[in-house]
Structure 1
């Protein structure tokens, strides 16, 4: 699978900075959640979304054993070992030990992360040890 230009992925991701947080939204400058951010980047870098995202509740990640986000990403992206992920990679995080991965971000540098965070909107911040410890999966966007 050919992958998208990582510099373009990062530039598109940064164009979402300052977008307010809004559950289930995916409109740059208007509102998005972490999945909506990834969906918006997909649309700009790859093209139309390959399938609709069903409505989801705020607590969806606290229930069920299935890795919903990772399974969906595997259907359309190139999976990497998280230790090999670099700038431009889509990262999935486990927010609690033994929970399923339910948070999404984009690595923008070797030590920086861009993501949509509740109450803060789309921000870029250091990829701290606490964030690194939560990384569960990594993927690359395919080429258009």
Structure 2
């Protein structure tokens, strides 16, 4: 498995990639989940990907998927290469890669920015942190209860997503 600095390095390679809801292609378009999923896939982690979610994802579903893919840890132990989830209403709905600490800096695909960005976490972001995660050392997803429809969960290999983006005209 990769070290945490490789996670940051791979995430930085996406900076400038346009925001695209449910996107999974570097340089073409990713959302916050797509950025994290792609980075983990590039580093050979086994990742569960959900293909169908709203622009404002269901917090319970989002939380289940994050917990299935990553290991929760205490915020006090946050390091570059960890992940943070954020809320905008009540439930977690957004995820970012930690690139620096003291002060905290994050990399994420953010719809309002229109692309993948890296910036310091100001009070807006700090007040919305829900949880801190790190990559799992093992790829065992069996201990998580993912009650999702078969067509919603697949091991992310990118081929179906690329085909969907080609079909809807977003790849040209």
Please indicate the TM-score interval, normalised by the length of the shorter structure. 0.7 to 0.9
Q: 1:73 to 1:60 in 2, by over 3 A?
A: closer
In structure 1, the residue matched to 2:64 is: 71
1:143 positional shift? 4.1
**Residues 89-143 of structure 1 deviation map (CA, whole Å, 9 limit, x = unaligned):** 11100113xx110011011001211100114200001111221111101111134
8 A contact 2:37–2:49 mirrored in 1? no
In structure 2, the residue matched to 1:120 is: 114
1:84 paired with 2:77, answer yes
1:87 positional shift? 1.2
In structure 1, the residue matched to 2:127 is: 133
1:78 positional shift? 1.5
Gaps of 5+ in 1: none
- Partners of 2:124 and 2:105 lie apart in 1 by 13
Provide the TM-score with structure 1 as the length reference. Answer: 0.84
Among residues 85, 91, 99, which one is paired with 1:100 in the alignment? 91
In structure 1, the residue matched to 2:155 is: none
Provide the TM-score with structure 2 as the length reference. Answer: 0.71
| Residue aligned with 1:67, SS | helix
When the two chains are superposed, the root-mean-square deviation of aligned CA atoms in Å is 1.9
Q: Which has the larger radius of gyration?
A: 2
| Residue aligned with 2:20, SS | coil
In structure 2, the residue matched to 1:34 is: 32
Which structure has more relative contact order (CA 8 Å, sep 6+)? It is 1
1:14 paired with 2:18, answer no
| Residue aligned with 1:91, SS | strand
